[in-house]
Amino acid sequence: MNKIKGYHILVKGHVQGVGYRFYCREKANKLGLKGYVMNLPDGDVEIEVYGDTEKIKEFISEITRKDMSFSVFDITIEELTEEKNYKDFNIRFY
């Protein structure tokens, strides 16, 4: 059985104005993950995601696909030590 973990993800690329946050929310909800996705003022996208480690790997694979309207140039993933109790996965506004 996989452990529930949390990750802070910073996504760089052409990820604003292309439906990226909605795509992330759809994929996370489909996988039963919790957290949020948010556009940052510098054009990057911030994600905090909690859930089963295998589901999170699948989520990261989906949000970095090459055949979509968005283009991910770089992704930074840090494991979170503090657990937050998100009810679901949604879009936050900066």
pLDDT in tens, 7-21: 999 999 999 999 999
46, 9 contact by CB (below 8 A): yes
Catalytic machinery residues: 21, 39
For the chain, which domains are there? 4-92 (3.30.70.100)
Token digits of residue 66: 């090459």
- The model scores a pTM over 0.85: yes
**Averaged pLDDT, 51-68:** 96
